[in-house]
């Protein structure tokens, strides 16, 4: 998040969301959470707001190394796992922030540089749906129709793009620059 405007990073486990968030934090972005965030439509039902959910990221040792951060002194997520909590600053304002864009992060073999691509509404809906946290809870509560309606509304109201990146961490500075430029372009 920068200047009160949030970018949501979505993607499967291991795609590098937390690593990219840590690199964004180092570049001056505020981090609103890791793994999960809370989203609400505003009173007009036209815009979405994100609310902070934490001030630490969970990163594997290789991601810390790529960021130039030592795991020494960091609290492990679990004993012997090799994943650590990385504090990323103060909690952001609890009043919520405008969701300006959603980025579906993907790794792709065979490319040298990260690249943005625009997607159609149906692909955006699918990408958001695939990243719904604990969908079995939605199903168990009988809320599939409501969840789908809200996902469609979110996808229709928000710019959704795909950001493909090589599997290596070496392109982190380029990813940060691309996201920063994209967010500034939307002002």
pLDDT tens-digit readout, 109-131: 999 999 999 999 999 999 999 99
Percentage with pLDDT > 70 across the chain: 96
* Structural contact between residues 33 and 133, judged by C-beta atoms closer than 8 angstroms: no
pLDDT, mean over the chain: 89
pTM for this model (two decimals): 0.87
Per residue in 19-38, pLDDT (tens digit) is 999 999 999 888 888 888 88
| Confidence tier at 94 by pLDDT (50, 70, 90) | low
Count the helices and strands in the chain (H runs, E runs).
6, 8
């Amino acid at each position: 998040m920068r200047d009160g405007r949030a970018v949501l990073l979505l993607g499967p486990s291991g795609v590098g969301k937390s690593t990219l968030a840590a690199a964004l934090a180092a570049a001056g972005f505020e981090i609103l959470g890791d793994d999960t965030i809370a989203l609400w439509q505003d009173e007009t039902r036209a815009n979405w707001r994100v609310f902070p959910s934490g001030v630490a990221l969970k990163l594997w040792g290789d991601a810390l190394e790529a960021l130039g951060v030592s795991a020494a002194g960091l609290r492990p997520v679990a004993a012997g796992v090799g994943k650590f909590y990385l504090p990323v600053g103060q909690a952001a304002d609890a009043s919520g922030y405008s969701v300006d864009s959603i980025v579906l992060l993907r790794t792709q073999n065979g490319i040298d540089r990260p690249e943005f691509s625009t997607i159609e509404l149906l692909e955006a809906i699918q990408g958001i749906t695939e990243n719904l946290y604990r969908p079995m809870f939605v199903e168990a509560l009988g809320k599939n129709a409501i969840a789908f309606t809200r996902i469609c509304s979110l996808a229709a109201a928000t710019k959704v793009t795909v950001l493909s990146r090589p599997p290596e961490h070496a392109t982190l500075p380029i990813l940060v620059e691309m996201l920063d430029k994209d967010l500034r372009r939307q002002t």
